[in-house]
A and B are shown apart, each in its own frame.
Chain A
Amino acid sequence: MNKINIAGAGLAGLSAAISIAEAGFSCNLISLQPSERAQSVLAEGGINAALNTMGEGDTPEEHFQDTMKGGAFLADPNAVEGLAYTAPEIIEKLLTIGTPFQMDGKGVVLRNFGGQKKKRTVYAKSSTGKVIMTALIDEGRKYESSGRITRYPHHQVLEILSEDRICRGLKILDTYTDEVQYLSGPVIIACGGLNGFFPEFTTGTVANTGDLAAELFSEGVEFANLEFIQYHPTTVAIPGKRMLISEAARGEGGRLFIERSGKKWYFMEELYPELGNLMPRDVISREMTRVLARDDCEGPVCLDMTGISKKTWEKKLSDLREEIREYLSIDPAKEPVSVYPGIHFFMGGIRVDEGHKTSMENLFAAGECACQYHGANRLGGNSMLGAIYGGRIAAQSAMKLEHENYEEKTSYHISAEEKQDFYVSPKSAAELKGILADSLGIIRNGDDLNKGIERIDNLLKDNNLTAMEKKRILLGKAMILSALAREESRGAHFREDYPEADEAYRKTTVSRMGDGIEIYFRDIPERRESHEIQN
C-alpha cells in the first residue's frame, strides 16, 4: 500500500508514526517545524493512568468514570474506555523507551490532578510533555534510520487531495524552497488545536494556526463540538501570549483566593469543600469570573503557592518556579501570583469515530485537532494520553485499508499568486479573534452569539479576503453557530440564558460545510458491555 501520510509531528503524529513503523508499515511525517518545536513539549503537569502505585486502590474503570463525568457525558464511552484501560500500558511503553518519569524506590510516583479524587497523574516535574516528546522523538529516529518513517521537515500541508469524497493524499509545500509536492495515500491529520483563531489569548504555540483545519472544513469534512473551549483558570499574560501555571501547582497545594472585605477568601475551598482547588477547570474558571464580578470582592484572583514545602518545590516544581521568576519577576514560594483564565484546549475539532476515522474516507485525525475522549471538558492529564492513544488508534485504522496505488503528480515551484491563497494577514487573524473572543468567552449568551454571527457575516463581505482568510472565518462562524445551537450549559460551554444542562442536548454538535454551514446534533453511542462487567 502507499505510505500513510501524517500531517503534524507532535505527540499524536509521532505516536501514529511509531505505531505504523512498529507494525512494519511505512509513513511520511510532515511538519512545518521539527517535533522538538511542537506544542506537545509545552505540556507540563502530567499524563493520567490508573497505575495504582500509591496504594489508593485506583482502577481504569474509575479513570473511565472520571473522564466521562469531567466531559459531562458527551464523550464516546467506548473510545474513553479504550483510553482509560490502555493508559497503564502506554505508561509502561513510555518507560521502556526511557521516559524519565518521577520515581521513588518503589516505582513511578503519581500526583493529584483536577477532577480526580485519586492520585493518577504520572509526571516529570513540570516538563512532562518535553520528556515524553524527547523519548518518542528518539524512538521515531530508530525508524527514520531504517526508512520506515520519512520526515518532511519544514513542509506545510496546503490541501488534501480528494476524489468523490475519498482522501487520496496531500499537497505539501517546502517552505524553504517553495517547491510543491504531492504525496499519495491515506492521511492522518495531527495538526493540533485552533490556537491561531485566538492569537495571544492561548497558552499554546503560535505555530498552530488552525489553517489546515479551516481547509478541511471547507472541503466538507465534518467538525464536532466546536463550542467547547477550555479556559484554564491559572494563566498569566506575558508579552505575545498567555503562560500556563500548571495544574500541578494546585495538585501540590496551591490555593486560589480573592480579597473580600479586605481579607483573603479561599473561595474554591468554601464553595466546593470536597475537591476545592482541584475542581475541573471549567468550574474554577467560571467561579473566578463570578467572584471577580462581585461588589464585595476586589480582584485579581491570586494563586497562593506559599504553603508548598521547600522539598516539593525542589523535587517537583523547580522548573515552574524558575519560569514564574523569569517571566513575572516573582518568587511564587514567597508571594501569590495574580492569575486569570486563558484558552488552553479545544475539546472540539474534526469529528472522528472510535477508530479515529473522519467523515471523509481514508482520512483520519488524532490529537487536539480531533474531537475525541474529552467531551464537554477535558481533565488535566488526559490530553497527552489522548494524543498518544488516538495517534495509535488512527494508525491502526489506516493500516487496515486495502492496497491501492495512486498516481503521483510531478512537483512544481509555487507561484506568488497561489501562495497568496494560503496567506493569512495578521489583521485578518486579529479581526476574527476579536469576534470569537467576544462571543465565546467563559460565560456566553444568545445575544452576544448572534452579534458575533452578524459581525462575522460583515467580515465575509470583504472582497479582498484571501482564500485561506475566508475559510478561517467560515470555521470561526461554525464555532459560534455551534455555541448558539446548544441551548444549555454543559462542561466548558456555559450559557447564562440557559444555565442548566438539558438531557436533550446530551449529543454531539456537528458542523459541516454544505451549501452553507449546517449544524446538527448526533447521538452519542451507548457503552458496550465489556470491562464494566469484568470489574
Chain B
Amino acid sequence: MKYRIDIERYSPEKKSYIESFYYETDSETETVANALAFLNAKSNLKNADGQDAEPIGWECGCMQKKCGACAMVVNGRPALACDSRLSRCGKVIRLSPLKKFPVVRDLIVDRSVMFENLKTIKLYFEDNADFGEETAGIAYEASRCLQCGCCLEVCPNFIAGGTFTGMASAVPVTRLFAELPAEKIKELSKLYNKHIFEGCGKSLACRNICPAKIDIEKMLVNSNAAAVWKRVFRHQEGVKKWKNQDLK
C-alpha cells in the first residue's frame, strides 16, 4: 500500500506550509511513527513532488504507547503516532501538530504549560501518603497518565494559560485524593474546584481519546466525589465507609 502523508509543517524561517510525502508498506502493524522514522532516516529526503525536503521535526521516545512523546493530530484526531496504524488511517493521512500548544517546529509543540499546571494545582504530597489495598487500584490507574496532551486537544474548555487545567491534571490528581489522609484533602479540594471542577463543562469530549485508555470519567467521578461532595475514599471514623466499587 502506498500512503500519501500530508504534513502541516512550520519553521521560524519558512512559517507554515503543507508538504506531502509518499511511504509504501504492506505491513498491517506499521504506524505513523514508523513512517516518520523511515522518512527521516533517508539521506536525501524527497517530498511527493520529488523535491528535496528537510527532515521532519517530531518527538519520539518508546515507540510503544508508553511515553506520550509522539502526540500529534492524525486525520483530525489527537493520537500518538506510535498508536496510529497506517492500515487504519486511509491512503491519504494528514498530520498536524497539537493546536493547543505553541508550535516549535513541524510536529513538535511546547507542552510546558501542562507541567506548569501540575505545579499550579500542587500535584505533590506535602506530607506522607496514606493508602492501602482499597485505593491502590484507583491510584494505579491515575498514575498511568502519559502527559501527552491528547485530552486537552479535544477539550472545548481548555486554553493554555487559562485557569482550567484540564484532564491532564484532573487524572493525576486522582492519585492524591486516593492517597491523602482524609483530614488533608481540604486544600487540594480548593485547588481542584478552582482549576478543574469549575472549568470543566462536562462535555466529555475527552472520552475515549486517552492513548493509555485511562477511564477518564471514573477518575473525574472519584475526584469530584472527594473534592466537591466531600466523600472520602476510605474508611474514616464517623464517616460512612465508601468504596470505589460504588461507582462501577
Interface residues of A (CB under 8 A from B): 33-34, 36-39, 41-42, 95-105, 124-125, 127, 130-131, 134-135, 138-139, 141-142, 144-145, 153-154, 176, 205-207, 238-241, 243, 322-323, 326-327, 329, 425-427, 430
Give Cα distance in the complex from A80 to B159, angstroms.
49
**Contacts A37-B68, A134-B145 given: A145-B122 contact, CB under 8 Å?**
yes
Q: Can you add 16 more A-B contacts, CB < 8 Å, to A98-B129, A138-B124, A322-B213?
A: A33-B61, A37-B62, A41-B66, A98-B139, A131-B140, A134-B144, A138-B123, A141-B118, A145-B122, A176-B105, A176-B108, A176-B110, A206-B63, A207-B60, A241-B63, A427-B41
B224 contacts partner chain A, Cβ-Cβ < 8 Å: no
- Residue among A36, A142, A145 having the largest count of chain B Cβ atoms under 10 Å: A36
Chain A CB within 8 A of B222 CB: no
Q: Answer yes or no: B115 CB below 8 A from chain A CBs.
A: yes
Assembled-state Cα–Cα distance A102/B135 (Å): 11
Cβ-closest chain B residue relative to A138: B124
10 contacts between A and B (CB under 8 A): A42-B62, A97-B125, A98-B131, A98-B139, A103-B136, A130-B66, A138-B124, A141-B124, A145-B119, A239-B29
Report the 10 A-B pairs with minimum CB-CB distance, sorted nearest first: A98-B129, A426-B41, A100-B139, A142-B124, A134-B143, A98-B179, A100-B136, A37-B67, A131-B143, A103-B133
Measured CB to CB, the nearest residue on chain A to B38 is A240
Cα distance, A130 to B126, chains bound together (Å)? 21
Q: Is the beta-carbon distance between A176 and B104 smaller than 8 angstroms?
A: yes
Q: Return B65 CB to nearest CB of chain A, in Å.
A: 8
Complex formed: what's the CA distance from A326 to B80 in Å?
14
Residues of B within 8 A of A144 (CB): 119
Assess the A36–B147 pair: CB atoms within 8 A. Answer: yes
Number of A-B residue pairs, CB cutoff 8 Å, is 146
Of A98, A142, A206, A329, the most chain B CB neighbours within 10 A belong to A98
Shortest C-beta distance, A264 to chain B (Å), equals 27
* Chain B contacts to A: CB under 8 angstroms: 27, 29-31, 33-34, 37, 40-43, 59-69, 82, 104-105, 108, 110-112, 115, 118-119, 122-126, 128-129, 131-133, 135-137, 139-140, 143-147, 172, 175-176, 178-179, 213
* A322–B83 CA distance with the chains assembled, in angstroms: 13
For A206, list chain B residues within 8 Å (CB): 37, 60-63
Q: Is the CB of A100 within 8 A of B140?
A: yes
User: Is the CB–CB distance between A98 and B175 below 8 Å?
Assistant: yes
CB distance from B172 to the nearest CB of A (A): 7
Q: Distance in Å from the Cβ of A58 to the closest Cβ of chain B?
A: 21
